[in-house]
Amino acid sequence: MRIISYNVNGIRAAIKKGFIDWLKTDPADVICLQETKAVRGDVDTKALNDLGYHDYWFSAQKKGYSGVAVFTKIKPDAVELGNGHGPSDDEGRVIQLQFGDIRLINAYFPSGTSGDERQDFKYVWLDECLTWLNKLKKKHPKLILCGDYNIAHNEIDIHDPKGNKNSSGFLLPEREWMTKFYASGWVDTFRTFHPEPHRYSWWSQRFPSVRLNNKGWRIDYINVTEPLKKQLKDAEIYPDVKHSDHCPVYLNISLK
């Protein structure tokens, strides 16, 4: 199974920038999108279906905000919207798909960049999420959690760690949460194959030169639980795909 996770920063805007043409190149079997900023009716889903994708959406109650979607050529055995955490579900942050004994979770983690209130919401969300994941693992040991985590874990994952030590997304409590998350039985699939520096998945849009000069952050991940580690085949980041301020991250995993 080839999986892509991609924060499109608005699916309609991404489509105007050639997103459907990119899908025609068959980049993956399963495309997990975050920050769709749309409901299903806002998009010509026939164009997706004609390419062989089944499409599943979980949108925020607030129009034009947040939202996740999955386009998959492999029909799932089951689809579940949300994770039962009310404030998160109101913002359309989690969608789950079952493929045999593997459960794929597509999540859009909150950002705290707009101020203290949202940063506090982010910390509560992270704690709720880890509690939920630990419980879910008992029922579904083989989990894949992909999405925009809005956290750069280590100094290697950000172009300027010293300058950003007080920036949301690289705050010590956020990074410690990631460390605790991995210690609880998760694998960073990208780092399994790529220990090298300067590999990022998001660049600020404030200055065009930021992406050109690769002054980015790695905040998008496809992580798996330990029982799936032996099934990993490849992982990659695609910085040259430019429909968003993020780029796609990729995982190839054997289903058996």
pLDDT tens for each residue of 106-145: 999 999 999 999 999 999 999 999 999 999 999 999 999 9
Catalytic (active site) residue 148: yes
CB within 8 Å of 58: residues ≥ 6 apart: 67, 68, 69, 81, 82, 92, 93, 94, 95
- Per-residue pLDDT at 38: 98
For 59, counting Cβ atoms within 10 Å of its Cβ (0-12 exposed, 13-18 middle, 19+ buried), the class is buried
Percentage of the residues of the chain whose pLDDT score is greater than 70:
100
pLDDT of residue 256: 83
Please state, in angstroms and rounded to a whole number, the distance separating the CA atoms of residues 248 and 165.
25
Contacts of 22 (CB under 8 A, 6+ apart): 241, 243
Put simply, whether the predicted model's pTM sits higher than 0.85 gets the answer yes
Domains and CATH numbers, the chain: 2-253 (3.60.10.10)
pLDDT at 92 over 90: yes
**pLDDT tens, residue by residue, 134-188:** 999 999 999 999 999 999 999 999 999 999 999 999 999 999 999 999 999 999 9
Indicate whether 31 pLDDT > 90.
yes
d(CA 225, CA 140): 10
Mean pLDDT of the chain: 97
The pLDDT of residue 198: 98
Is 108 marked active-site? yes
Residue of 159, 66, 72 lying closest to 109 (CA atoms) = 66
Question: Which of 6, 53, 56, 108 is flagged as catalytic?
Answer: 108
Taking the CA atoms of 48, 53, 54 and 59 in sequence, report the sign of the dihedral they define. negative
Asked if 251 and 3 count as a contact pair (C-beta separation under 8 A), the reply is yes
pLDDT score recorded for residue 30: 98
Active-site residue (options: 6, 53, 56, 148): 148
